[in-house]
A = this chain, B = another copy of it.
């Protein structure tokens, strides 16, 4: 096993982090985590326009963080926890690799 902490695996994570790097999107996600809502319904609860919300939803959808459910003329969105858990697993694995390496180095230093 090499210690080159998964550069390829991380590749696909960057767009997802970009999606999560915005407070408004987190506010939307939090709202959708508690209740299924349409873009218009969300816009009514936020200090931004419906189109702004729509763009955020597109970003979140592209990152696999929300799911769209059509119901007549409206489209409701729900937050997907599974995607978040996937990311969590990868982060935890990478973080552990780094710290394991540090621990090895320190163990060797100790021995001198």
Contact = CB atoms under 8 A, between A and B. Distances in A.
Contact of A99 (B27, B30, B81): B81
A105 B92 CA distance: 30
Given A84-B98, A91-B85, A95-B81, A30 B7 contact: yes
A80 B30 CA distance: 28
A27 B37 CA distance: 37
- How many A residues touch the partner, as a band? 35 or more
A5 interface: yes
Given A82-B95, A85-B95, 7 more contacts: A6-B30, A14-B23, A79-B98, A82-B99, A84-B92, A85-B99, A87-B88
Interface of A: 3-7, 10-11, 13-14, 17-18, 20-23, 26-27, 30, 33-34, 78-85, 87-89, 91-92, 94-102
